[in-house]
Amino acid sequence: MNPLTTPRFNVSAPDSRHVLLDIRHLQVRFHTPEGTVYAVNDISYQVHEGEVVAIVGESGCGKSVSMMSILGLIPVPPGEIAEGTAEFMGTDLLTMAEDKLEAIRGSEIAMVFQDPMTSLNPVLSVRRQMTEALRRHYGMTGEQATNRAIELLELVGIPDPARRLGNYPHQFSGGMRQRVMIAMMLACNPSLLIADEPTTALDVTIQAQIVELVMRMREQLGMALIWITHDLGVVAGLAERVIVMYAGMVVEEADVDSLFDKPRHPYTMALLAALPRVDRRRDSRLKSIPGAPPNLLVEPRGCPFAPRCEYVVDRCLHERPPLLAVSPTQRAACWVTTGDPAFATSNEFRNNSR
Amino acid sequence: MTDPTPNDDHQPLVRVVDLKKYFPIRQGLIIQRTTGNVRAVDGISFEIARGETLGLVGESGCGKSTAGRTLLGLYPATGGSTFIDGRHVQEAAGDDWMLIRRQAQMIFQDPYASLNPRWTVNAIIGEPLRVHHLIDAEAARIERVTELMALVGLDGRYINRFPHEFSGGQRQRIGIARALASDPIFLVCDEPISALDVSIQAQVVNLLEELQDRLGLTYLFIAHDLSMVRHICDRVAVMYLGVMAELADKDDLYEEPLHPYTQALLSAVPVPDPKVARRRRRIILEGDVPSPINPPSGCRFHTRCPVAQPHCSTYIPEWREITPGHWVACHEVEPKFRPGPFSTS
Amino acid sequence: MATLDSVPVILSTGGDELAPPLTFRQMAWRRFRRHRMAMFGAIVLIMLFVYAFAGGLIYTAERANFTDTTIRLSPPSLAHPFGTDTVGRDVMARTIQGGRISLMIGLTAAFLEILIGVLIGAAAGFYGGVVDSLLMRFTEAMLIIPSLFLLIVMARIVGGSVFFIVIILGLTSWMYVARIVRAEFLSLKQNDYILAARSIGTPTRDIIFRHILPNSMAPIVVAATLAVATAILSEAYISFLGMGVQPPTATWGNMLDGSYNYIESAPWLWIFPGLLILLTVLSINFVGDGLRDALDPRSRNA
């Protein structure tokens, strides 16, 4: 067995590549018996061709909902896309007819979920599920489709693919099922792969396998990748650009090195300070973030992180900070750390952002 | 096995000796035959000193949770024994048993499933007080429950609320308050933070550390998050498929892991630092963890081990102390130094 | 330290944080009230009880059994709103008296059924293993005997007094309850809070009666309401076949028995008791549906 090194890639300036997905002012709400849940509150970001973007945030921050909503995968009602556009290769997904959107989901955009069992049909063999898509999209004959399916399973590292093809989803382990899922997604050679917490349910050694596999596939096939996760460690290992979400808003967006070196939003700073490190000796207690994420049943006002923020000023409570550029590759939504250059270079700030 | 005298400060607080827990697989309508065993825990031994935090790590299905429950006596052990403060858990009965139930408590992973949804916070935290007749008067008990709530950072005014009215982190605090109610000396924390959000995890971990300082608690910290284990624990034990792979002081283990499994496990833990992540060499293990019903012969890790030799599949590796305090079960690890014939130690 | 000195509690629910908490029952009642059919059923059911029990104060048993053959089989009129039967008894008075008996049979038989079912189901589910196997095989054995047949045979043997009918109904219908309770216990005892209770040292008795049983109340309450309906129906069946409660004691069921020969000529003989049985069973089922939703722990936050 060969110890594999983490794939290394050249981080080119994102602007030099074409914009693949362009989300602007997206707002998603859910109307529930308890009231309106403000799930996604006016977020905008872009993903370029071949780019690896990670969307990070805690549960309920809207990271999954924002993706699901642009692909038409949230139930409406209770869901509602109140505002916004999401252009994919120049056409708005939000105004697209259902059948066209479905065609895009099957070919151009592929999704891998946390629990592959929800997207695999438990009563059909893997062969049936894989060949059906190949025959439908590429007009392959049964034999061609089977051969291609075996190839794909081999590509994702499933041992003895010809035999395993006849198995049913429950006969695979969690990690293997995720591989099958990825193979199925690769069948149509998408230009964007959205991975929604694909390794959260897996053990670290299996997680490493899947991360390695996805990155290898991306390098071979050149697709863009959106990796949705709560794990900053995974992000550091794979992303080129990172989008940090909190309470349905984007609070920081940066290239991966800037984000971990010089986080500019207090939430990002606090998250990093709250993380223990496996590769370092302990030096002090973890810095904990007091309180809990805000209740999304209340219409957002001001900065959502203000109640838990140690730099909070009066303005934060009333006025929502926009995403302000602090460098060509980094933007943060904070009145304090982006607005006041003197503060950003002060010792207090430096110490806190390690 | 001689019984150490209770309450001796030099003895380890917890001693686990060759503990085994098999779950039988039964078949049959009325008369049930045992057709096989899930060997969840298959002979593990370790000690925990007073005031220490021992981490118990491993992947899902390695038996770490079962080990925690069995060593507390919540599951009957298939073999081996546990001593908590000198009392033999598996043979305890009557008053001894109730004393163990007071002294050793558990904190659970799922803050939703571990609190009775129909009980108020008062009833939940007060349960140990009632069961052990520590405080029988209603008013005094409410006072103590309020005190415990304050201790874990909960507002005592919410004493009559139900668990579903609290967030995950707050529920975990309720569970901790319940565990503390009977003034325990030993807590088994079974993945206490893995169901919580990142920003809440640090709160709970810091709370556990503060409580340990204040109350002199001893922890067995069961987790799969190796970064957090390094942060909170003094020593760390690694389990694989029901057996111990390695046990050492945390910095020893994390900086010089000896067992190939520990090495692979540690190299797979993501580091929140892109520069380190690019530099790091990962050992990607092949395949999945085998079934604990028919564990591999010899060394249980040999099917996935990058350095396995032919004899690994035949002989079970001995659990040996390679350097003082650093235990490992692997044929391929050589002692770095052997005490010479004139060694003083 | 921050976690100990500050008070970071923010309750997950919105609104007034220190408002008096809603108990389980209050929340269930809130949800029940929103269930229209269940509220309708509950109101009808209350009216039926008032009809049978308050009505019994006006129309006594004597009045219900007062025969006057000169006015036999007279259709509904002002003096006899539901008409008279084959021996000239007032049908309305008999439906009131019969209602009392039928409802009493329904309630007591259901109580007995629940008692047996919960005991057997709880023992099987909690202890598992051989106890479970034995009890469940016995339960299945009882289930495969056609219950109507069992009812008739037993009614034949012990005779048609109200007391024995209740015992028979209870003894032949507890099996479904036992299976529901067993399933609940099996799944509930896996919960971490049961393990937590055991690790605290809570005695088994308290684990069963204070932890598990209250949490399995929802399906038991639902089963109990439906059991009342089933018991009333079963009584009607065997009474209709002439083997239930014997006349002159009236029940809605044995009133139907006598009307068989007059289906066309004197429809008021069967319409009124039939309608009352229908209304009772229907509204109990609605109430059961509402309870099922209201007590569902998954909709706890509504």
CB of C301 within 8 Å of a chain A CB? The answer is yes
Whether C14 maps to a domain, the answer reads no
Sheet holding A52-56, edge to edge: A109-112, A192-196, A224-229, A52-56, A241-246, A249-255, A330-332, A324-327
Of residues C2, C8, C14, nearest to A298 (C-beta): C14
**B170 touches C at CB < 8 Å:** yes
**Residue to test with chain C: of A32, A34, A59, A299, most C Cβ within 10 A:** A34
pLDDT of the residue at B117 = 87
Most C CBs within 10 A among B89, B98, B116, B203, hence the mutation to make, goes to B116
Under 8 Å CB-to-CB from A267, ≥6 apart: which residues? A244, A246, A251, A252, A289, A305, A308, A309
Report the sign of the C-alpha dihedral through residues A155, A160, A161, A167, in that order: negative
Q: Which chains touch B (3 or more CB pairs under 8 A)?
A: A, C
Measured distance CA(A129)–CA(B20) in Å, rounded: 43
Residue A292 at interface with chain C, using a CB cutoff of 8 Å:
yes
- The pLDDT value given to residue B35: 80
Taking CA–CA distances from C205, the nearest residue in chain B reads: B131
Whether B69 sits inside 8 A of C11 (CB atoms) is no
Average pLDDT, chain B: 87
Specify if C77 maps to a domain.
no
**How many other C-beta atoms are found inside a 10 Å radius of the C-beta of residue B286?**
14
* A298 touches C: beta carbon within 8 Å: yes
Of B72, B127, B155, the CB nearest to C197: B127
SS3 sequence of A243-261: EEEECCEEEEEEEHHHHHH
CB-based contact (8 Å) between A214 and chain B?
A: no
Query: In this structure, what token pair is assigned to residue A246?
Result: 């909190």
Of A59, A236, A290, the CB nearest to B272: A236
Assess if residue C191 is contained within a domain: yes
Phi-psi region of A135 (alpha: psi -120 to 50; beta: other; left: phi over 0): alpha
Contact flag A175-B288 (C-beta cutoff 8 Å): yes
Question: Residue A222: what pLDDT?
Answer: 85
Q: A292–C10: do the CB atoms touch at under 8 Å?
A: yes
* B-contacting residues in A 305-324 (Cβ below 8 Å): 308
Q: Across the interface, which of B116, B131, B207 has its CB nearest the CB of C193? A: B116
pLDDT band of B7, cuts 50, 70, 90: low
Of A69-73, B27-31, B44-48, C121-125, the poorest mean pLDDT is in B27-31
- C290, C35 contact by CB (below 8 A): yes
Residue B125, pLDDT score: 94
3-state DSSP of A59-107: CCCCHHHHHHHHCCCCCCCCEEEEEEEEEECCEECCCCCHHHHHHHHHH
Taken in order A299, A303, A308, A314, the sign of the CA dihedral is: negative
What does the alpha-carbon distance between residue C181 and residue C213 come to, in Å, rounded to a whole number? 9
Q: Give residue C271's pLDDT.
A: 86
Q: Do strands B33-48 and B14-27 pair parallel, antiparallel, or not at all (unpaired)?
A: antiparallel
Average pLDDT estimate for B92-116: 90
Please, which residues have CB within 8 angstroms of residue C279's CB and are 6 or more apart in sequence? C44, C48
- The predicted structure's pLDDT at residue B30: 64
H or E stretch at B19? strand B14-27
Question: Which are the contacts of B202, defined by CB distance < 8 A and separation ≥ 6?
Answer: A274, A275, A286, A287, A288, A289
Q: Could you tell me which chain C residue has the CA closest to the CA of B103?
A: C200
Q: Percentage of chain B surpassing pLDDT 70?
A: 93
Greater pLDDT, C138 or B7: C138
Taking contacts as CB-CB distances below 8 angstroms, the residues of chain C near A292 are 8, 10
Residue C68 lies in a domain: no
Report DSSP state, residue A192: E
C12 and A CB contact within 8 Å? yes
Distance of alpha carbon C156 from alpha carbon C149, whole angstroms: 11
Which other chains touch chain C, taking contact as 3+ CB pairs less than 8 Å apart? A, B
> Which residues are CB-neighbours of A214 under 8 A, at least 6 positions away?
A182, A193, A195, A198, A225, A227, A238
Q: Residue B74 and residue C195: Cβ atoms within 8 Å?
A: yes
Put simply, whether A288 touches B (Cβ < 8 Å) is: yes
Q: Say whether pTM exceeds 0.95.
A: no
pLDDT digits 0-9 by tens, A147-169: 888 888 888 888 888 888 888 88
B65 CA to chain C: closest CA distance, Å?
Answer: 12
Helix axis angle, C268-295 to C91-127, nearest 10°: 30
pLDDT of residue B334: 67
Residue in A closest to C301 by C-alpha: A34
Interface pTM (ipTM) of the complex?
Answer: 0.84
Q: Does residue C250 lie in a domain region?
A: yes
Predicted local confidence at residue C11, as pLDDT: 40
Q: Which amino acid is it at B326?
A: H
Binned at pLDDT 50, 70 and 90, residue B103 comes out as very high
When pLDDT is cut at 50, 70 and 90, the band that residue B238 belongs to is very high
The span from the CA of A263 to the CA of A256, in Å, is 10
- Classify residue C4: in a domain, yes or no: no
Does an H or E element contain A214, and which? helix A204-221
CATH number at residue C44: 1.10.3720.10
Looking at the partner chain, which of B32, B131, B166 has a beta carbon nearest the beta carbon of C11?
B166
> Cβ of A317 under 8 Å from any chain C Cβ?
no
In a domain, C247, yes or no: yes
Contacts of A159 in chain B (CB under 8 A): 287
Residue A290 near chain C (CB below 8 Å): yes
What does the alpha-carbon distance between residue C173 and residue C168 come to, in Å, rounded to a whole number? Answer: 9
Q: Is residue C72 part of a domain?
A: no
What is the amino acid identity at position B149?
M
Measured distance CA(A232)–CA(B274) in Å, rounded: 10
Query: Over the stretch B151-198, which tens digit does the pLDDT of each residue have?
Result: 998 888 888 888 888 888 899 999 999 999 999 999 999 999 888 888
Q: Look at chain C and report how many structural domains it folds into.
A: 1
Q: What pLDDT is attached to residue A339?
A: 66
**Full domain range(s) for residue C177:** 28-61+87-301
pLDDT band at A127 (very low <50, low <70, confident <90, very high): confident
Contact between B53 and B212 under an 8 Å Cβ cutoff? The reply is yes
Chain B, window 276-295: residues with a beta carbon less than 8 angstroms from a chain C beta carbon: none
Cα separation, A335 vs B163, in Å, equals 37
CA separation (Å) from B313 to B39, B305, B307? 18, 11, 12
Q: Which chains touch A (3 or more CB pairs under 8 A)?
A: B, C
Contact B90, B77 (CB under 8 A): yes
Quote the minimal CA–CA distance from B216 to chain A in Å: 17
Task: Give C-chain residues touching B201 at CB under 8 angstroms.
Answer: none
Work out the number of other CB atoms within 10 angstroms of the CB of residue B291. Answer: 12
What residue ranges of chain C have pLDDT lower than 70? 1-23, 160, 296-302
Question: CB contact, 8 Å: A198 with chain B?
Answer: no
How far A172 CA lies from chain C's nearest CA (Å)?
26
Q: Which long-range contacts (CB under 8 A, 24 or more apart) does C193-196 make?
A: C193/B113, C193/B114, C193/B115, C193/B116, C195/B69, C195/B74, C195/B106, C195/B108, C195/B114, C196/B106, C196/B108, C196/B114, C196/B115, C196/B175, C196/B178
Mutate which of A297, A299, A309 to disrupt the C interface (most C C-beta within 10 Å)?
A: A297
Beta bridge partners of B203: none
Task: For residue A56, name the pLDDT band (cuts at 50, 70, 90).
Answer: very high
Give the SS3 label for residue A9: coil
The verdict on a CB contact (< 8 Å) between C3 and B108 is no
A220: tokens are 């071979």
Confidence of residue A346 (pLDDT cuts 50, 70, 90): low
Let me know: does B59 contact B224? Beta carbons within 8 Å: yes
- Chain B and chain C share a number of CB contacts under 8 A equal to 110
Question: Residues 2 to 61 of A: which have CB under 8 A from any B CB?
Answer: 3-6, 8, 58-59
Q: What is the 3-state secondary structure (H, E, C) of chain C?
A: CHHHHCCCCCCCCCCCCCCCCCCHHHHHHHHHHHCHHHHHHHHHHHHHHHHHHHHHHHCCHHHHCCCCHHHCCCCCCCCCCCCECCCCCEHHHHHHHHHHHHHHHHHHHHHHHHHHHHHHHHHHHHHCHHHHHHHHHHHHHHHHCCHHHHHHHHHHHHCCCHHHHHHHHHHCCCHHHHHHHHHHHHHHCCCHHHHHHHHHCCCHHHHHHHHHHHHCHHHHHHHHHHHHHHHHHHHHHHHHCCCCCCCCCCCHHHHHHHHHHHCCCCCHHHHHHHHHHHHHHHHHHHHHHHHHHHHCHHHCCC
Q: Torsions phi, psi of B238, nearest 5? A: -110, 130
Tokens of residue B150, six digits: 């304050």
Residues of B in contact with A175 (CB under 8 A): 288
- Please name the member of C2, C12, C302 whose beta carbon is closest to the beta carbon of A33: C302
pLDDT for A95 equals 86
Q: Under 8 Å CB-to-CB from B4, ≥6 apart: which residues?
A: B11, B15, B83, B86
